[in-house]
Structure 1
Amino acid sequence: MPRGASPLLLLLWAKMVSSTWYEGSGYSAAERQTNEVYAEETSHVLAPEYRVPQWCHLLSIYHGEATCYSPRGGNYRSSLGTRCELSCDRGYRLIGQRSVQCLLNRRWSGHAYCRQIRCPTLPAIYHGSYQCSDGVKVDSHCDYTCRPGYHREGDRSRVCLEDGHWSGSEPICVDIEPPKIQCPESRERMAEPNKLTATVYWDPPRAKDSADGVIKQMTLRGPEPGSEFSEGEHIIRYTVYDQAYNRASCKFFVRIQVSRCPVLKPPEHGYVSCTSAGNNYGATCEYHCDGGYERQGAPLRVCQSSRQWSGSQPTCIPMQINVDVNSAAGLLDQFYEKRRLLIISAPDPSDRYYKMQNSMLQQATCGLDLRHITVIELVGLPPHEVGRIREHRLSENIIEGLRQFLHITRSRFNVVLVDKEGVDRERYIQPLTPDELFSFVDTYLLSNHEVLQREQNRDTCE
């Protein structure tokens, strides 16, 4: 106050400050203990007095804390311009503004209070109960127990969390006494002849519930009785459930054995094709020879119950070409399903195409034999015409028959490729390289077995 002011003005100033001390802070005298902080508009604005240490009411939040920062220093917790950060104790949630400031109107800029966090009441569980350490407040532990004869499945206890939810999930109490079940004895069977399987039968298991004697459901895991079982061991499992869904299971084994003969080895220059698994009881194996070879001995052998093969193993010997036949058809029949034929025809032994072709094929003997190709030469003109297969000479009658049957001209060089079925597959009027010939055979004429042999013997001729 200015020096020399009258006592009356001093009295009025003191009365004004006294009447607005709590109103300016947002609290009346009767509300000083509340934990709310709020702001109200006022019709008059007082001149700021930064020197007043308590411009707004000193903050006190119930179950919480106000951390204040004043422009004048740490000792001024409610002077003009002071900013306070509000927080709540554990178990309480702040409702309202987290930050307030002391304004010119002697009020705080907002209001807030701390509300206790509570979790919802836990529901009762069937056949059990729970006890809580502190009701539904934060950090309260609720422990679950089940009645005698029941087993708890799920969480043993739950805790009230700060977000107002219980931890974990609600457990359940279930009947713990499983039913009783007895499976049939395990069994072994021998596979049927020429098969790798056996049919097996059994009676369903007996089951009984120890509580009320009622079986609600029985399930089978595995083949049904009367099914065909393959070689090996199979597990058959039955599972039963009582009315409380207690489960019990049992299992037994079905073992299938296959009577087998020793594995047959293919003959040299030949191979074996078998039914079923190839060496099981009742399987039949047939012997085959590679192109250019003939089988000597029984073509078939059977695996017997004694686990021994019938008969004896045949052999494959080089093919004997008989040129003393009456017709070209008789000659070609000897190669049917055994060899392919490459027939080379030229009007004269001095033909340059003929010489080139012979020179190239002489360097590819291994590849020709690998692909079961036999070369037949028809060279010259009558009466000096010559026909030959390797060292075998052909008669004039056979030469003429081959030319007529395959439509091979004498007037110019030409080559005819005939497959194992006697079909004319390709013709050439100029010499062909071994690579061209082999590529055509490998692409279009090989059987599945020949493809396999080709892969196994790929490097034989290299």
Structure 2
Amino acid sequence: MLKSVPRVNMDTWLVVSLFVFLQLFFSLAYEGTPWCAPIKVKHGDVSCRSPGGQYYKNVMGSRCKIRCKSGYEMQQGHPEVVCMASKHWSGNYACREIRCPKLQMPANGGYKCSDGSYFNSRYVDAPVIKCPNLKDKTAEPGKLSARVTWDTPEGKDTADGILTDVILKGKPPGHFPEGLHKMSYTVYDRAGNKGSCRFSVRVRAMNINVGVRTASGLLDQFYEKRRLLIISAPTAANHYYRFQMTNLQHAQCGLDLRHVTVIELVGIYPAQIGRISHRLIPPGLALQLRLLLQISHDNFNMVMIDKQGMDRERYTYPITSAQIFTTIDTWQGRMDEMVLQQEAGHTCQ
């Protein structure tokens, strides 16, 4: 007759299961299974040892000593940590660069550093930099931008004169669209003091109406604003005309600097055309312009008119842009402009 097997209550099973789990847990941990994350310390060295001499140095119970490299120190935590059953190390660890407190500048004195730099009490003053004056340009008729140039300002230091590069915030010299553009320059000295200045570039668009009825109405739009260089030729193949226009192609900056607008009158009515930059003048208006200024359509002619509408110079042959600029620069109104432009740093360099 079979004997009945005694029943084991649930509490007994729970105790046995927990015991088996713990045995497996500790046996795996101490048999050399990696437990905590490997330690890596930036700017430092780590020396670890496991409790049973296992191959892996991050098993449970492993101890690691942290040593920071020269010039660094423990930022937080303890220099020795232990791998715990929670799979975490017993503390935080990090090495940080050793920094001395800011050196106070001695009154009426200074100090010299090992890199050869020298600082004295004058370094408390920021460097000085002077920006150009307001750059005010008027775009060529029919254009919505203008070329604006200036010289990069130089900073002045109150101490040893050694400065970093001058930094421009804004658009560099070149073509600027219509509108107001705010600019600034910044410079630093070796002590980190900053000097800065601001200036603006304003470009005005000159809208020329070529739909006026009379030649005088066309010229009135330039009064006291622009000088005129009117070039007339019987055909576009005219040798003088081609030479003159080729020479002027490389002189746009000089023309802009002197506020000169070029008007071309080419051909013989009714086949003649006029042009201001990229805008065409109707044949009838171009004919009126020739008649008003008494320009022959049979030969090459060039007329120079000042801002007051005065006929200043006439040529029946081409001349160089340098000769044109030299002539304009002798006019009284232009001489005053040159002084202001020189003070503001307006150049074509």
More helix by share: 2
TM-score of the aligned structures, taking structure 2 as reference length: 0.42
TM-score normalised over the length of structure 1: 0.32
Which of the pair has the greater relative contact order for Cα pairs under 8 Å at 6+ separation?
2
